[in-house]
Amino acid sequence: MSLLEVKDITHSYGASFSFWRKKEVKPVLSGVSLSIEEGTCLGLLGSSGAGKSTLGKVILGLEKPQKGQVIFQGQDLYAMDARSRQQMRRNLQVVFQDSYSSVNPRLTAEKIIAEPLENYEKLSSTEQKRAIANLLEQVGLSNGDMKKYPREFSGGQLQRINIARALALKPKMIVLDESVSSLDMVTQTTILNLLQDLKTMHGLSYLFITHDIRATALYRPCQLYDQFWCGFFFLYIFTNGVGIVFDTGAIWELLSLHPSQLTGIMSFPW
């Protein structure tokens, strides 16, 4: 059984309502399907506006699709009641692109990372503190950073805090929604290496959403991108091989015709 299975998702955004015009509908996703096995990763690639982030939101349970199913660990995410969906979220976490807007500016790093722990694990305050210190260490920050506010961190450090928050519940899968796109190359590399290490340590699955084709192809210092690009990219896109879901609707097909706008979904076993 797959960890995550997305079946035939169709979604569109309605333009704003007005009295004297017909409501415009902007289709975003049409019939997208994919699946991720436990412990493997999937790269989701597309130019901006292709619907990557919308698909990410649908998978995370933040945006109800108009058609289709999201099945996580054998259960339909949109058919279950609120309580069991909350339980499901333990295993499905996210790291967004913009590290600054993903944290509440009025909370310290400690409180930010503590939030998922408070909601799911009833820990005593010393245990919780220890858990947070442990998480900070895993993502390469120190204990002294606990009491700092988001404005005192750099973008890369803040992204590490976001990763620590996503890791706090030991999830099965993390959606990385353009998680490294807004960072400079050096920081990108270190964060990608960190993600690679954490993956092997915890047996995580990633859904790796990115638009960044050329910049990432120019350098391949780290294994994550190495495999992502050189090992599987052309093979999977153009031969429509195993695990690839490329018949994902008109928008995506259209964009995929030009190599610099390659759009599609690739699956690669690690």
Partner 1 sequence: MISRIRYTLKGKWAFAICSLILVVFFLVSILVPWIAPNDPIQVNLALKLMPPSLEYPLGTDQLGRCNLSRLLYGARVSLGFATLIFVASLGIGLVVGTLAGFRGGWIDTLLMRFCDGIMAFPNLVLVLGIVGLLGPGLWQVVVALMMVQWVYYARMIRGMVVSMKEQNFIAAARISGSSNWKIIRRHLVPNVLPPIMVMGTLEMGWAIMDISALSFLGLGIQPPTPEWGAMIHEGTSFMRSNPELMLYPGLMILFVVISFNIIGESLSEQFGVKRRY
Nearest distance from residue 13's CB to partner 1, in Å? 13
Strand segments, DSSP code E, in 46-172 are 67-72, 75-76, 92-95
Q: Which is nearer to partner 1, 92 or 266 (CB)?
A: 92
- Euclidean distance between CA atoms 101 and 110, whole angstroms: 17
Nearest distance from residue 89's CB to partner 1, in Å? 5
Give the per-residue contact string, 26-65, with partner 1 (x = CB under 8 A; - = no): -------------------------------x--xxx---
Does the footprint of partner 1 cover residue 149 (CB under 8 A)?
A: no
Footprint on residues 84-103 left by partner 1 (CB under 8 A): 86, 89-90, 92-94, 96, 98, 101-103
Side chain identity at 242, as an amino acid letter? Answer: V
Q: How many CB atoms lie within 10 A of CB 269?
A: 11
Burial class from Cβ neighbours inside 10 Å (0-12, 13-18, 19+) for residue 129 reads: middle
Does the footprint of partner 1 cover residue 116 (CB under 8 A)?
A: yes
Contact window for partner 1 (CB under 8 A) among 10-18, 114-122, 134-142, 198-206:
114-122
Q: Residue 164's closest CA among 111, 86, 88?
A: 111
Nearest distance from residue 104's CB to partner 1, in Å? 5
Q: Which two tokens stand for residue 187?
A: 């920081």
Q: How many CB atoms lie within 10 A of CB 181?
A: 16
Does the footprint of partner 1 cover residue 162 (CB under 8 A)?
A: yes
Side chain identity at 149, as an amino acid letter? Answer: Y
Q: Which two tokens stand for residue 23?
A: 């409501």
Does the footprint of partner 1 cover residue 83 (CB under 8 A)?
A: no
Chain residues in the site for partner 1 (CB under 8 A): 57, 60-62, 86, 89-90, 92-94, 96, 98, 101-107, 115-116, 119-120, 162, 165, 169
